[in-house]
Amino acid sequence: MPVIKELKGSGSIEEDADKIIFLHEVTDPSDPYAKDYQNTLRRCQQNKDRLIAVNVAKHRDGATGWLPSRFEPGKMRFHMITDS
């Protein structure tokens, strides 16, 4: 999973950004981000979709954290996951 610290050497991106969002594809059931979403990960793999951890690493005016989503590569769509 990428972290803000890795952006430090890229000029002022980290300092100037209001929001920083990282996308992390979860493929391994032992990944800590898949812990609560084992059934969803299996369904994604069966349907040829992808489980993506959307990590809001910086948000000047709001909350940070990660949100699980399902990505349909054939349609280029993200769907937020509301159940595990």
Q: Comparing 4-13, 47-56, 75-84, which segment has the lowest mean pLDDT?
A: 4-13
pLDDT at 11: 67
pTM passes above 0.85:
no
Check pLDDT > 80 for residue 61. Answer: yes
String of DSSP letters for 8-75: TTSTTHHHH-SEEEEEEEE--TTSGGGGGGHHHHHHHHHTT-EEEEEEEEEETTS--EEEEEEEETTT
pLDDT at 84: 52
Model confidence pLDDT, tens digit, residues 6-45: 777 766 777 888 999 999 898 888 888 777 788 888 888 8
